[in-house]
Amino acid sequence: MARLSAVAGLVGLLTLQIALAAPTKGDAQQYCPVLYTEPPKNCKPLPESFLTFSSKSPAPPPVDSLVLEYAVEALAVLQDQYFHPDYATWPSAIDWTAAVAGTVIAGMLTTMSKSLVSIQLGGESDWKAKENLISNYYAQLVGSYYGQDVLSIRGQAYDDILWVALGWIEAINFVRTHTELHYPRSGSPEVVPGSGLKNIIDSTPWHGHNWMASFAHRSRIFWNLGARGWETKLCNGGMVWNPRLNPYKNAITNELWVSTSISMYRHFPGDNFTAPWLATAGFPTNDPAHLQAAMEGYQWLIDVNMTNHRGLFVDGYHIDSRRPGNTKCDLRDEMVYTYNQGVLLTGQRGLWTVSGGASFLEEGHVLIQSVIEATGWSLEENKAIDDLKSVPSGRLPPWRGLGRGGIIEEQCDASGTCSQDGQTFKGVFFHHLTSFCAPLDPLRVEKGMKLNKRGYQRIKTAHITACSRYVSWIKHNALAALGTRDDAGRFGMWWGAGIFNAVVTLDNDGINHDAENTTDYRNQGTPEDDTWGGLHRWLPGTGRWSVLDPGTGQKVLGGIKENQDMRDRSEYGEPRQDKRSLQDPNERGRGRTVETQVGGLALLRAYWELSQS
């Protein structure tokens, strides 16, 4: 902790960068920084590879543009089925799942902006049509800015608040990418009277710029609101999840804090909005406060020991109040969710970019590889570790910690018991995996700093090699997920249903749902006990803003009964439902939703993006 407090006092960028490249484990084990002022001494040589085996196999062949088409189709279905322009939102989403939908859509728009030019989509090579396609979804994203229920979100937990900030930074990045690629401005930004039509045309930026300042403003406001969640009286720091419950410092809020802060540092375009009650005018870009928050948050998360024996993030820590005066994070909740393995990746990638510290990238690759292994997939052999053909019909391959048979799975997936929260998680994971594996941009070399070019190249090669190794696992998941779409093209929650032939329940899904110290509060709500908050309970899907179908609430465990009802009805001569839907495990529980569609979209986008580098 000594080093942390030393860092906390620093404000100069240069000093911070040096501190950043400093150890997350111990000085002797530290990689030599790629960026430095003085040639580094006493450091470990940079890694040759981020894989644990030597990868001699050639890079996988480039994938067909069909994958991109499927991804665009997933977006089209998402917006056609779930977005309502009149309400300027996805009415069946809740605030945070809507924020994630917007984030994933902004990412997809960036992908389309980069990819559509070079691809003949269905014979349609007309740029006007492609631009219209992008503008169509962008207009809806802008609509959702105005439909976002900011007053309600202000009163929610810190993770809800941070999803908002992160989402609008993603939108800013899309506007920047699209502008740089297709609308580089030629004229001066000023239009003076009498300068003529050509001058007006030349000086008009891409129309998407109209909302840049609004996006920037909201991301700053919500980052500031989120900052109140950082608390140092307990556990020597860390973000608290929900101010209305007993202090709980969980992985998601802290990962969001790291990733949002470093994204603000890198991409926040400044905010000139000044309210009369604000003394200061303007908020700067590259604010050292954002960098410091990201760094401190990262160090805290690593030090607090939140990973389990599989290398996966568990959910979080309570403070044992039975011990008088206790301030330690000592009651660990062992629950594992997919999204807790994803959000930090954006933070690790960002920290590498600003510091040139290879350990950030390495720790990200270790996390990704832990996830892949826990789905029952061997990266080295490029196949599932369990022979799927030898699994008897009606049974599933064994649970491996975060999936089975090479398919990533939430613990609520196979039984059809996910809440609206749980239905969002896998999409979050793949969105951040995509951002982690995006092609490495050149490091920003500040004045007075030197770049080790050869070292940078080595890291770049190692990064690309590892990321392209993940493609076959992603493909395996994407093919399974594509198999879960219904006639309307809507993705199911449990991707395993696309390749396994079994319908299971909580009792026989192969997962120990009663494991010690494991609380599935995201799907079941927090228990009414002394650890979580006495009589105060938190339930998933609360804070919902509903216009179209008020009061349906959560349908968490209703699946089995519902199917029974359907069967009963058909026995009484009612028109029989599509036979398949009775056997489709993804029709149970909440069924197919805006959240499961976002999951399918994020997965297909990851498949496309990672196979391009």
Strands (E), 227-315: 248-250
Determine whether 346 is exposed, middle or buried from the number of CB atoms within 10 Å of its CB (0-12, 13-18, 19+): buried
Q: Please, what is the minimum distance in Å from the beta carbon of residue 102 to ligand NAG?
A: 20
Contact pick of 125, 188, 517, 583 for ligand NAG (by CB under 6 A)? 517
- Measured from the CB atom, the residue of 35 and 319 that comes closer to ligand NAG is 319
Neighbours of 59 (CB within 10 A): 13
Binding flag, residue 449, ligand NAG (CB under 6 A): no
160-219 residues in contact with ligand NAG (CB under 6 A) are 213, 216
Could you give the CA distance from residue 144 to residue 133 in angstroms, rounded to a whole number?
Answer: 17
Q: Is 119 in the site for ligand NAG (CB under 6 A)?
A: no
Asked if 318 and 531 touch (Cβ cutoff 8 Å), the reply is yes
User: Nearer to ligand NAG by C-beta: 192 or 488?
Assistant: 192
Continuous segment of H or E residues that includes residue 145: helix 127-147
Secondary structure class of 436 (helix, strand, coil): helix
Residue 439 C-beta-side C-alpha neighbours within 13 Å: 9
- Report the chain's terminal Cα–Cα distance, integer Å: 39
Round to whole Å and give the CA distance between 356 and 16.
Answer: 12
Token pair, residue 435, equals 């951002």
How far apart are CB 269 and ligand NAG at their closest, in Å?
5
Task: Determine, following the binding rule CB under 6 A, whether residue 516 of this chain makes contact with ligand NAG.
Answer: yes
- Residues in contact with ligand NAG, counted by CB under 6 A, come to a total of 11
Cα separation, 163 vs 84, whole angstroms: 21
Residue 378 pairs in a beta bridge with 383
Q: Which is nearer to ligand NAG, 1 or 547 (CB)?
A: 1
Nearest approach, Cβ of residue 520 and ligand NAG (Å): 15
Pattern 270-309, binding to ligand NAG, x per CB under 6 A? x-x--------------------------------x----
Q: 331 vs 479, which CB is nearer to ligand NAG?
A: 331
Q: At its nearest, how many Å lie between ligand NAG and the CB of residue 340?
A: 15
Q: Nearest CA to 497 among 580, 558, 429?
A: 580
Q: Tell me whether residue 106 or residue 466 sits nearer to ligand NAG (CB atom).
A: 106
Question: What x/- string results for residues 314 through 333 when contact with ligand NAG is judged by CB under 6 A?
Answer: -----------------xx-
Tokens 């040096």 belong to which residue? Answer: 18
Residue ranges in 333-362 that form contacts with ligand NAG under rule CB under 6 A: 334
Site stretch for ligand NAG (CB under 6 A), options 25-33, 267-275, 286-294, 355-363: 267-275
Q: Which stretch binds ligand NAG (CB under 6 A): 16-24, 120-128, 161-169, 264-272?
A: 264-272
Please give the angle made by the CA atoms of 545, 551 and 552, to the nearest 5 degrees. 105
Contact footprint for ligand NAG (CB under 6 A): 213, 216, 269-270, 272, 305, 331-332, 334, 516-517
